[in-house]
Structure 1
Amino acid sequence: MPKIELQTEIKADRKVVFDLSRSIDLHKISTEQTNEEAIAGKTSGLIGMDESVTWRAKHFGIYQKLTSKITEFDRPNFFVDEMVKGAFKEFKHEHHFAELNNGTLMTDIFEYNSPFGILGKIADKLFLKKYMTELLTERNRVVKEFAESEKWKEIINE
């Protein structure tokens, strides 16, 4: 099962970073390159425990749907979203937030299982793990950009 771990240091309050990370609206901004749109479940605002969202996005030239659900939630420390239905056999995305030097250390742990047996394993090695890492890195760049500026106030209404 491939595993991607990313750490991002963000000079912002942990609660702001946590809420940006669970924002459907910010996710749409961070995935503009794949034309992601929330089409069912929670389609805007902040997703919470036991809520799900269905995304429609274009990956590798094909439109796909993926539904994920929040299965663990402890604001502002961590939350977990897991695939309920979609192109993967399964995935689990852990989001951890720790205070660090007047800011936040955001840690993503993304584990997934590709479909198609041995062909899926080959795809992982050839391109899929790199592709998923780039998507997560871009998402984190956008979270950081919004959190470290006043832009977060456009997303989160306190």
Structure 2
Amino acid sequence: MKTYRLEFEQKLPVDLDTAWDFFSSPLNLAEITPKDMTFDVTSPNMEQTKMYPGMIITYKVSPLFGIKLDWMTEITHVVDKKYFIDEQRFGPFAFWHHQHHFSEIENGILMQDILHYAIGYGPIGKIANAVTVHKKIHSIFDFRFKKVEEVFGKL
């Protein structure tokens, strides 16, 4: 199974506490996800819960062609105001490991994402990645970049 790695970064003109509070809340994920993905957090009582290692988060999402899928991730690691990692437990990927890193820089913070993913299905998965999945992931992160700039501004 082929595993792919993507990296994204964004500088934001906010303090670390503000960035951490926003990005470590699963409820804000829907706000920075393209509307055509109809991303809905289905875990109960998420507004009352601070992220912690072992936390399970469930979603309904339409990643491709409007097909609604169940997605479950686990927050596997959290170092407060430094990084957190979510890993897929059930969902559209054969493997999903997403690192979210935050560091202070002059006049703001640097947010870095490191994503490893795999599709499965052998050669069919490689073709699917080349034709749609890779582009879709980039479009999701492009949307997020623009949306986060709308929320926090540019640095």
Sort the TM-score into its range (normalised by shorter chain).
0.7 to 0.9
1:103-118 alignment, distance < 5 Å: 103-118=108-123
1:79 aligns with 2:89: no
Aligned to 2:36: 33
Q: How far is the alpha carbon of 1:41 from its aligned partner?
A: 5.5
| Stretch deviating more after TM superposition (74-83 or 40-49) | 40-49
Q: How far is the alpha carbon of 1:135 from its aligned partner?
A: 1.0
Whether the 8 Å contact between 1:42 and 1:53 is mirrored in structure 2 is no
Q: How far is the alpha carbon of 1:147 from its aligned partner?
A: 3.3
Aligned to 1:99: 104
Which of 15, 39, 42 is 2:17 aligned to? 15
| Cα distance, 1:98–1:147 mapped onto 2, change above 3 Å | same
Normalising by structure 2, report the TM-score: 0.86
Aligned to 1:128: 133
Which runs of 5 or more structure 1 residues have no equivalent in the other structure?
150-158
Amino acid at match of 1:34: M
Which of 58, 70, 75 is 2:62 aligned to? 58
Q: Provide the aligned length of Structure 1 versus Structure 2.
A: 149
Distance in 2 between residues matched to 1:9 and 1:83, nearest whole Å: 26
SS of alignment partner, residue 93 of structure 2: coil
1:90 aligns with 2:95: yes
Whether the 8 Å contact between 1:67 and 1:84 is mirrored in structure 2 is yes
1:141 aligns with 2:152: no
SS of alignment partner, residue 22 of structure 2: helix
Q: How far is the alpha carbon of 1:148 from its aligned partner?
A: 4.0
Amino acid at match of 1:6: F
Normalising by structure 1, report the TM-score: 0.85
| Cα distance, 1:7–1:128 mapped onto 2, change above 3 Å | same
Structure 1 vs Structure 2: percent identity of aligned residues?
24
SS of alignment partner, residue 126 of structure 2: helix
Q: How far is the alpha carbon of 1:102 from its aligned partner?
A: 1.8
Which runs of 5 or more structure 2 residues have no equivalent in the other structure?
none
